[in-house]
Amino acid sequence: MSSHQEGTVAHVHRDDIGAKMGMWLFLFTEVLLFGGMFLVYAFYRFQHQDQFRVAAMELNTGIGTLNTVILLTSSLTVALAIAAIQKGNRFLSVLMLNITLVFAVMFMVNKYFEWSAKISHGLFPGSKEMLDLPNGQILFYGLYYVMTGLHALHVIIGVVILSFMLIQLMKKKITQDNHVKLENAGLYWHLVDLIWIFLFPLFYLIQ
């Protein structure tokens, strides 16, 4: 290998390390954001344990469980997409990434129906029905909408990122030797899934 080629490889390697470090730093800020919310949740739940339990009974545990299975499976498929391109199998990588996106859409559709059911019953911030509830239940639903809503926003952002990665894959801009962007996208998606794993028991399994 010529000195020019060695320099190019070293430069690409440094860029990859920098990109990964940047992504880990970003993920750390996301953990701090949701970690703060989890602390707020824990504080209010300690103060209103019975009211939190009563309010949680209005949530659909079945949908919450289904969404958990969907996101856990999507973490597997995005990991398989990365593993496939690392082995040079572009077709399998594209297939797994498409399946991941389908799962993401399924999650959002389920969330739409879940939120719609709550809103149709008047259980949304600012509604008369909500304001008539005890303070503990109002706090529960307020945290429910804020935290699951912020998570849903992250899912949407993840869909945009993974869609862009899919285009890059199909254009052969992500290859066996240049796949750090897909790895970083996968890390982001794993974080989205991890956050939901914490949200699920906090809101759905306290009845």
What's residue 8's pLDDT?
Answer: 42
What is the structure's pLDDT at 15? 59
What was the pLDDT predicted at 7?
A: 45
Partners of 10 in the β-ladder? none
Strand, helix or coil at 17? helix
Residues 6+ apart with CB under 8 A from 101: 159, 162, 163, 166
User: Rounded to two decimals, what is the model's pTM?
Assistant: 0.88
**Dihedral angle of Cα 69, 75, 79, 80, to the nearest 10 degrees:** 30
Per-residue pLDDT of the chain (207 residues; tens, 9 = 90+): 444 444 444 444 565 677 778 888 988 999 999 999 999 999 999 999 999 999 999 899 999 999 999 999 999 999 999 999 999 999 999 999 999 999 999 999 999 999 999 998 888 888 888 889 999 999 999 999 999 999 999 999 999 999 999 999 999 999 998 899 999 999 999 999 999 999 999 999 986
Supply the pLDDT for residue 24.
85
List the structure tokens of 181: 């962007």
Which two tokens mark 140? 């529960």
Structure tokens at 29: 């800020």
**Domain covering 33-204 assigned CATH 1.10.3210.10 in the classification:** no
